[in-house]
Amino acid sequence: MKKNKLFFIFCLFVSSSILSQPLFDAIKLTTNEQFSKADIAFTSELTAQPNNGDIYFYYGENYFKNDNLEMANKFYQKGVELNATNPLCYVGLGKVQWYQGKEAEAKASFFKAVTLAKKYEYSNSPKTLEITVSLGKNSSVTKAKYVINSEATVLMKIAEVYINAEVKNIAEAHILLAQSIKLESFNPEAYILTGDAYMEQNDGSKAIEYYEKAEKMDEKSVKAILRQGQLLNRAKNYNLALDLYKKASLIDSSFAPAYREMAEIYARAGQFNNAVAKYKRYLEINNDCDARGRYAGFLLEGKHYTESIVEANEAIKCDVNNVYLYRYLAYAYFEALPPNYILGLESSKTFFLKANEDTKVIPKDYEYQAKLLSKNGKDSMALIYFLKAMQLQPEKVELNGEIAVTYMKMKKWAEAISFFDKKIAGNKANINDYFGLTRAYYFSKDFVKSDSATSQMIRLQPDLALGYLWKAKVSVQQDLKNEKWLAKPFYEMYVNKAKPEENKKELIEAYNYLAAYYAEKKDCPNVKIYMQKVIDLDASNVQAKKVISELKC
């Protein structure tokens, strides 16, 4: 353990010796994904040292790690122009060339960087450092002499390209890292990168071995701890990964990647409120466009629709081409209370307009486009998108109900019946589906099947007045001459369950029928009771007043 502490103290000493403290702090901001703050710090450093190649390289890295290849290249190139002997800026140029598929040019740049690095002297410190470290009040003082090798740094940076680029060269990365470790055996970064190389080869046991070596060298290396968590995350050992991310955040509360990784794990587990909380913390540290957009997605998944709308719109201000932000808005506008179907449809249309071959369009996108079109009265177009969504996910049986309702609005009863039946066959039917089926058969004049559907409504919700109303309506059609007065018991059930303030028209229908029944039976008092109920609901009802005035009871 004493040796570990020596390495950690030494690494801090080296960092502050080779790089000025302000530059070291700026690089840390990049590592912590605080790209905007790092931008300000690097600008300040360039004002003080306008010809320092190291600053241009690490400033370029800030842009590169924030996915801005063009600006990164600009700073690498400027560094070469102003400080032609600085090897790091050639690594930067080579990195951009490698990512652009210009492998020959990239290798030439890397060769130039390594050649320069063999002769390069750090301007602010000697190549050989002697340090004195006290390991505690009860420990002896230890002296150590190390060579700080610029070639080792260059080799590591080149290896990093080979590991992280889409076109990889893991074998070459291993060779470069082995050389780097020989030159600078005390640097934990080389061990972290070696672990990364093994991770790309899906060799988890070797990867963890090197990450643990790096952590032993620097017990507070949040990067080494993060990598171990990412390895466990990949192995689906989410709880242990979460523990490591928490450990990293406790060591450095400004280490943004730890919060992002925690948010992703919580989201994967369906704990969206926890995911939102962690991503909110990430945003407090790194409030960039991409992060804000991802946060909008987490809010959507957590059903915080209004907040998701706000965050997505904020992210669009600085990244209008992020197609997925329009997806979030389409979904959120539909689900929010109150919903905004007009803006939702505009967002959905924009999503499909901006989508290209790289966009992952999912069935849900078609589904929400259909729902929004339907809510905006564009039923024929809605149907196209509903059917597309159904075609892409035939297992989503409940979509048949949406399609059936759309056909109902278009008064295509046979088609509606067909899709209601499909949903029922898939054991996904609810009372609304049986209500739709009741009406579809009713308007198709198939009153036997309509009656069967109303029976299912009553079975599912025996206290719901609506089922008895439609049972009565169907019974009327099956007994047009009132020979059996089939509807009477159902209208009676309906008036006992319906709320007068919500069902005025339907209750008048029921009272008129029951009054007619009692008139047929010569039951004057009951006729008067039901006609008076009609007047109570509709004081201007001429027919009811006339009946009452003619009664002789």
Minimal CA–CA distance to 310: which of 286, 346, 285, 336? 336
Minimal CA–CA distance to 403: which of 376, 424, 428, 374? 374
| pLDDT (0 to 100) of residue 149 | 63
| pLDDT (0 to 100) of residue 144 | 38
C-alpha 234/C-alpha 112 separation (Å) is 37
| pLDDT (0 to 100) of residue 268 | 85
Torsion of CA 266, 268, 271, 272, to 10 degrees: 90
Q: Can you name the residues that pair with 130 across neighbouring β-strands?
A: 145
CA 417-421-424 angle, to 5 degrees, is 140
How much of the chain is helix, strand and coil, in % rounded to 5?
Answer: 75, 5, 25
Q: Give the number of other CB atoms < 10 A from CB of residue 128.
A: 9
pLDDT in tens, the chain (553 residues): 333 333 333 333 333 335 678 888 999 999 888 888 899 999 999 999 999 999 999 999 999 998 889 999 999 999 999 999 999 999 999 999 999 999 999 999 999 999 999 876 544 333 444 333 333 344 443 433 334 468 999 999 999 999 999 999 999 999 999 999 999 888 899 999 999 999 999 999 999 999 999 999 999 999 999 999 999 999 999 999 999 999 999 999 999 999 999 998 998 888 888 988 998 999 888 877 777 888 898 899 889 999 999 999 999 998 899 999 999 999 999 999 999 999 999 999 999 999 998 899 999 999 999 999 999 999 999 999 999 999 999 999 999 999 999 999 999 999 999 999 999 999 989 999 999 999 999 999 999 999 999 999 999 999 999 999 999 999 999 999 999 999 999 999 999 999 988 899 999 999 999 999 999 999 999 999 999 999 999 999 999 999 999 988 7
C-alpha 31/C-alpha 17 separation (Å) is 19
Torsion of CA 39, 44, 48, 50, to 10 degrees: 30
| pLDDT (0 to 100) of residue 336 | 97
User: Any idea what DSSP says for residue 522?
Assistant: T
Are 527 and 515 in contact by the 8 Å Cβ rule? The answer is yes
Secondary structure tally for the chain: helices H, strands E: 30, 2
Q: How many residues does the chain have?
A: 553
Taking every pair of C-alpha atoms in the chain, what is the biggest distance, in angstroms?
121
C-alpha 531/C-alpha 452 separation (Å) is 31
C-alpha 191/C-alpha 269 separation (Å) is 31
The first and second tokens of residue 21, run together, are 């403290």
> What residue spans define the domains of the chain?
499-553
C-alpha 287/C-alpha 281 separation (Å) is 10
Q: Can you name the residues that pair with 128 across neighbouring β-strands?
A: 147
* Sequential DSSP letters for 41-109: HHHHHHHH-TT-HHHHHHHHHHHHTTT-HHHHHHHHHHHHHH-TT-HHHHHHHHHHHHHTT-HHHHHHH
Q: Give the number of other CB atoms < 10 A from CB of residue 145.
A: 8
Q: Give the number of other CB atoms < 10 A from CB of residue 537.
A: 17
From residue 515, how far is each of 300, 466, 488, 491, 545 by CA, in Å?
54, 20, 10, 11, 13
**Ramachandran angles phi, psi of 255, nearest 5°:** -80, 90
The first and second tokens of residue 446, run together, are 């198939």
